[in-house]
Amino acid sequence: ETGVTQSPTHLIKTRGQQVTLRCSSQSGHNTVSWYQQALGQGPQFIFQYYREEENGRGNFPPRFSGLQFPNYSSELNVNALELDDSALYLCASSPGQGARTEAFFGQGTRLTVV
Amino acid sequence: AQSVTQLDSHVSVSEGTPVLLRCNYSSSYSPSLFWYVQHPNKGLQLLLKYTSAATLVKGINGFEAEFKKSETSFHLTKPSAHMSDAAEYFCVVSAPGGSARQLTFGSGTQLTVLP
């Protein structure tokens, strides 16, 4: 059984550019969530996808968007990058969307905006 | 609404001594609670979870936590610290809200283990 994998591991972008981060969920998991972890802080919930539909969103602007594909892999897209978008972006997959289900995290993508 | 407060941003212990990482939560619903650990340049690993069964929860690597509803606490303990326990620890609350399960993280506790 493979775990959650994210790509790329590191990325440097210029302010104003757009970026796409990718996540392959663990086998059998139909729910994917994305989190942003700024330096020295706990992860913040961006949004969740369940069976290809966004069904929950945190306090992030619309320039943060995502997709989930039929194989349950997912993308996070960020447009018009700002310096404050520099962070570790974590993807988590789980076998369901219930509150008691465990989330399995990938190792993250470190995004630096210059 | 739900929130988590980790009462100590840094905890330092000597190897072989007990570890106590404190966490208080607030939730409008009956919560599920988790502790995750994050080693440098690594993803988050689940240590243990409480989901309304036994209030004393045992996890991996000798960690355990006790859910105390009256105190709204979920403190993490370990009888004897090991050097490999040095890491960032996050207390997390999960509560059903609409159709999505949102994890709310505390700000983290950095555990240092001294030789």
Query: From the first residue on, what is the mean pLDDT of each consecutive set of 10 residues in chain A (114 residues)?
Result: 87 98 92 93 92 90 96 95 97 80 90 98
Are B91 and B8 spatial neighbours (Cβ–Cβ below 8 Å)? no
- Please tell me which of the candidates B41, B102, B108 has its beta carbon nearest to residue A58: B102
Residues of chain B positioned with their CB less than 8 A from the CB of A33: 101-103
The predicted pLDDT at position B17 comes to 98
> Is B105 within 8 Å of A42 when comparing Cβ atoms?
yes
Is the pLDDT assigned to residue B16 strictly greater than 60? yes
Sign of CA dihedral B57, B58, B60, B61: positive
Size of interface A-B (CB pairs under 8 A): 77
The predicted pLDDT at position B72 comes to 93
The nearest CA of chain B is from the CA of A80 a distance in Å of 26
For residue A47, the chain B residue with the least C-alpha distance is B102
* B56-58 and A74-78 strand pairing: unpaired
Per-residue pLDDT tens over the stretch B68-101: 999 999 999 999 999 999 999 999 998 665 445 6
Alpha carbon of residue B64 to chain centroid: 9
- Please tell me which of the candidates A4, A57, A99 has its beta carbon nearest to residue B96: A99
The predicted pLDDT at position B27 comes to 82
Q: Work out the end-to-end distance of chain A between its first and last CA atoms, rounded to an integer number of angstroms.
A: 37
CB atoms within 10 A of CB B68: 12
pLDDT, chain B, mean: 91
The predicted pLDDT at position B53 comes to 75
pLDDT band at B42 (very low <50, low <70, confident <90, very high): confident
Largest alpha-carbon pair distance within chain B?
47
The predicted pLDDT at position A2 comes to 63
Q: Give A24-66 as a 3 state SS string.
A: ECCCCCCEEEEEEECCCCCCEEEEEEECCEEEEECCCCCCEEE
The nearest CA of chain B is from the CA of A37 a distance in Å of 10
Helix (H, G, I), strand (E, B) or coil at A83: helix
The predicted pLDDT at position B96 comes to 62
Cβ-based burial of A2 (10 A; exposed 0-12, middle 13-18, buried ≥19): exposed
Residues of chain A positioned with their CB less than 8 A from the CB of B7: none
The predicted pLDDT at position B94 comes to 84
- Please tell me which of the candidates B43, B101, B106 has its beta carbon nearest to residue A48: B101
Q: Measure the CA–CA gap between A48 and B97, rounded to whole angstroms.
A: 12
